[in-house]
Amino acid sequence: MKVQEVTYLSDYTISIKFEDGVSGTIQLNDLVEKGIFKVLQDKSLFAKVYTNGYSIAWSNELEIDATAIYSDLTGKHFGEILGSTFTHAAN
C-alpha cells in the first residue's frame, strides 16, 4: 500500500489517501508531544508534511511509516496489511 496524497488540514491534523482508495484524516496531537517530533509543535513546520509514497514525513529524520497510519484508518493489524503484500514461492 502506497500513499498517493497527504494534505495538512489544521492544527495537527492531516488528510491522507492511499492508492487502494483508503482515505481519512488523522490527528497527530500526541505525536508532537514526544521525542524528536516535538519540533513539529511549530505549526508552520508541521504544515510542510509530505509523502515519499511509503511514509509521511517532514524531513529525512521525521517520518511515520505509512503502514502505521493505514492500520489506524482501517483497524487492520500489521500482519493483515503486510500479509497480502508478500507471497510465497511455489515449491
DSSP of 14-36: EEEEETTS-EEEEE-TTGGGSGG
pLDDT tier, 90 (very low <50, low <70, confident <90, very high otherwise): low
pLDDT of residue 81: 76
Report domain extents, the chain.
Answer: 3-83
Using DSSP, state whether 33 is helix, strand or coil: helix
Q: What is the pLDDT of residues 25-84, one digit of tens each?
A: 999 999 999 999 999 999 999 999 999 999 999 998 999 999 989 999 998 887 777 765
Whole-structure pTM value: 0.81
CATH class of 3-83: alpha beta
Give the pLDDT of residue 78: 74
